[in-house]
Amino acid sequence: MRLDRWFKTHFPGLGFGHLQKLLRSGQIRVDGGRVKADTRVEPGQMVRVPPLEVDKKGESALTGHSIRNQGDADVLAKMLIHEDPKVFVFNKPAGLAVQGGSGVTRNVDDMLEAWRNQKGEKPRLVHRLDRDTSGVLVVARTRLAAMKLSEAFRARETKKTYWALVKGVPPKREDKISTWLIKEPTPDGDRVRVAAHGEKGADHAVSYYRIIEQAAQTMTWLEMEPYTGRTHQLRVHAAYIGCPILGDPKYFEADTNWDFPGGIQNRLHLHARRIIIPHPDKGVIDVTAPMPPHMRQSWNLIGFDDASAED
């Protein structure tokens, strides 16, 4: 089958002009090589598909930009990845704030007004993600559920796993990062720095990481777990070990000889991939969130395979 017909069959929402642009730029590849629209594909070949802003049903992939003209209830429904009588879990797109603040025109907390239940109860946030961080966001549907979930976060009974793409390669394959962090206001919003032990206003922060894959010595795919939950903790800790997260507007620094890799978007590459948390009633909630389009594009361009994380 011709490659353009293969795409028409599997991704009917993708226009031909967009397909041609992706082919010309080399973002679509077959068995690792560049191809054209009339290239014939055969069973067993590997087609690399970048983020298309459409899925196999032709529906839009959610981004902070793509939700601008959509109603709150519709966006929440598209973000939803787990639902039960006590809990919602959303896959928050990068660029959407969780709560209001300076310069924030739309946020999840306000959007939840659209999902008040028959008793008039509004779903409640029980933790936060940075505006530019995508991924798993847990929301309680009742006041009692919110109390129990919040206590689970405070008692550190939750396991949160993040995926990050960082500059360079950390000194160890896996390690614990333990520092004191202090938050300081700046004209561009709060910024966090590593503080001296016992410095006034500083909080102890502990993170764990392991290397999943690396692209030569240029970039590394890290799995990170925050043991504590400080503001910007993983972003600061990645920079602290000399491997800042790609696209981080606050903490990414590189020497003059380092070129940002072509085809990779200069956006924060940090995704809350998975959460395991005790359910308010019984059992556990274990939810995994698909990566945002800009990170999926980077994984495809580099050739990282999601299955590597399971090894």
In the chain, the DSSP E strands lie at 29-30, 33-34, 47-48, 80-83, 87-92, 124-125, 134-140, 159-167, 174-184, 191-195, 203-215, 219-226, 270-278, 284-288
Contact 117, 143 (CB under 8 A): no
DSSP 8-state class, residue 33:
E
Q: How far apart are CA 289 and CA 291, in angstroms?
A: 6
Contact 140, 146 (CB under 8 A): yes
**Catalytic status, residue 109:** no
Residues 6+ apart with CB under 8 A from 165: 219, 220, 221, 222, 245, 246, 269, 295, 298
**Catalytic-role residue among 74, 109, 110, 130:** 130
DSSP state string for 117-158:
-TT-PPPEE-S---TT-EEEEEEESSHHHHHHHHHHHHTT--
Q: How far apart are CA 16 and CA 244, in angstroms?
A: 38
Q: CA 53, 59, 61, 66 torsion: positive or negative?
A: positive
Query: Pairing state of beta strands 270-278 and 134-140?
Result: parallel
Q: How far apart are CA 19 and CA 8, in angstroms?
A: 10
Q: How far apart are CA 79 and CA 129, in angstroms?
A: 14
- Would you name the residues annotated as active-site residues? 130
